[in-house]
Amino acid sequence: MFNQNRIYRLFQLINYLKARPAKSIRSIETFLDTSERTIYRYLELLKDLGFNIEKDSNNKLFISSTTEVDIIPFTPQEAEYIKKLILTSGKHHQLAQSVLQKLQQSSDIESGDDRFFKAHLSEIVEKISLAISEQKQLLIKGYSSANSQSITDRLVEPVGFTHNYDSVTAFEVNTKLNKYFNIERMDSVELLDTPMMFEAQHEFYKPDIFGFQGERMDKEIEMHLSMRAYLLLKEDYPMSAEFITSISDSDQYYFKAQVQNFKAPGRFAMGFLEEVEVVGSAEFIKYMQRLVQQNS
């Protein structure tokens, strides 16, 4: 029986294998954060669904972008079941929006409420996926940057989506840097005819729960959270949920995780100074002390 996690991993795997270069089993394991045995089960399932899994000269795997399979052929009953599972993932999951839209278009299912998906964001995800599979450059139009406080167009070569499909890792042609771009901050995207030119410089690092990417996940954060801080942290950064536990005999919560950068968790803690207690890592405590001094 399908479950929610399995569905998302299948769609992630399809997109990942359509994006060149071809992938080794080890790289797929890392990308999906699962075992080799599970990877082979997913590959067999994709073959059963009609996808042609090919190998290059180095025995690495890929799905040809010319495959005739566009939509997995679910029965109406399966589509309805998948829809119910997807809706439990939350309205902010961009891949969920795209899948729901396809389910509605390819079946008799009526959502009855356009709040279940945002067609605009779904279209952006689709075009980025196409750029990855066809190895074409992409123009991100009207990107709102939180760092530079500006709205600009960005010429990029997309590499891959982050865990929740809320961001895409891409090589920015102008700066020659690999960056991640938030899907919701894009006004639109344009798929260009220009082929990718900088594949050798493409890098994809698994982002931390705050969306930062880098070579090392070597910074540790620990916090005690009030219920309000806990709920808002989980809402703003859904991947944080698995790192939070309740503190027995209290209304407090304990959060501990490895991150790439202190910037995002520091910014969050600064917004709840009376409801967040920073503990544990001396490095993070010093970072927070500097932030408080700078803002006092």
pLDDT in tens, 140-157: 999 987 666 788 999 999
CB 148 within 8 A of CB 154: no
| Mean pLDDT over the full length of the chain | 79
Task: Please compute the mean of the pLDDT values over residues 184-209 and round it to a whole number.
Answer: 88
- Measured in whole angstroms, how far is the alpha carbon of residue 45 from the centre of its chain? 23
Strand partners, 62: 54
Note the pLDDT of residue 222. Answer: 96
CATH number at residue 110: 1.10.10.10
Same domain? 103 vs 19: yes
Going by C-beta distance under 8 Å and a sequence separation of 6 or more, which residues neighbour residue 149? none
Task: Look up tokens 């089960």; give the residue.
Answer: 41
Torsion of CA 236, 131, 5, 90, to 10 degrees: 30
Q: Is residue 206 part of a domain?
A: no
- Measured in whole angstroms, how far is the alpha carbon of residue 83 from the centre of its chain? 20
Q: Is residue 11 part of a domain?
A: yes
Same domain? 104 vs 11: yes
**Highest mean pLDDT: which range of 5-14, 124-133, 142-151:** 124-133
**120 pLDDT exceeds 90?**
no
Q: Is residue 143 part of a domain?
A: yes
Tell me whether residue 183 is exposed, middle or buried, using C-beta atoms within 10 angstroms of its C-beta: 0 to 12, 13 to 18, 19 or more: buried
Nearest to 214 by CA among 174, 251, 177: 177
Examine the fold and report which residue of 118, 143, 161 is the final residue of a domain before the chain moves on. 118
Same domain? 111 vs 156: no
Task: Please compute the mean of the pLDDT values over residues 105-114 and round it to a whole number.
Answer: 43
Q: Is residue 211 part of a domain?
A: no
Mean pLDDT lowest among 106-115, 160-169, 183-192, 278-287: 106-115
Same domain? 107 vs 125: no
pLDDT, tens digit (0-9, with 9 covering 90-100), for 227-275: 999 998 887 777 788 899 999 888 999 999 999 889 889 989 998 899 9
**Dist. CA 217–CA 257, nearest whole Å:** 10
Same domain? 229 vs 284: yes
pLDDT band at 18 (very low <50, low <70, confident <90, very high): confident
Q: Is residue 276 part of a domain?
A: yes
Alpha helices in the chain (DSSP H): 4-18, 25-32, 36-48, 76-87, 94-105, 119-134, 227-236, 263-270, 282-294
The sign of the dihedral angle between the CA atoms of 206, 159, 40, 42 is positive
What values do phi and psi take at 26, rounded to 5?
A: -65, -40
Same domain? 43 vs 61: yes
Note the pLDDT of residue 164. Answer: 61
**E-assigned strands of 22-149?**
53-55, 61-63, 136-145
Query: How many CB atoms neighbour CB 215 within 10 A?
Result: 8
Note the pLDDT of residue 161. Answer: 81
**Dist. CA 79–CA 82, nearest whole Å:** 5
Task: Please compute the mean of the pLDDT values over residues 115-142 and round it to a whole number.
Answer: 79
**202 pLDDT exceeds 50?**
yes
Examine the fold and report which residue of 143, 168, 201 is the final residue of a domain before the chain moves on. 201
pLDDT band at 51 (very low <50, low <70, confident <90, very high): confident
Query: How many CB atoms neighbour CB 23 within 10 A?
Result: 20
Residue 191 C-beta-side C-alpha neighbours within 13 Å: 14
**Dist. CA 291–CA 273, nearest whole Å:** 11
Range of the domain at 289: 219-294
Same domain? 109 vs 21: yes
Give 1 or 98, the one with higher predicted confidence: 98
Examine the fold and report which residue of 118, 145, 166 is the final residue of a domain before the chain moves on. 118
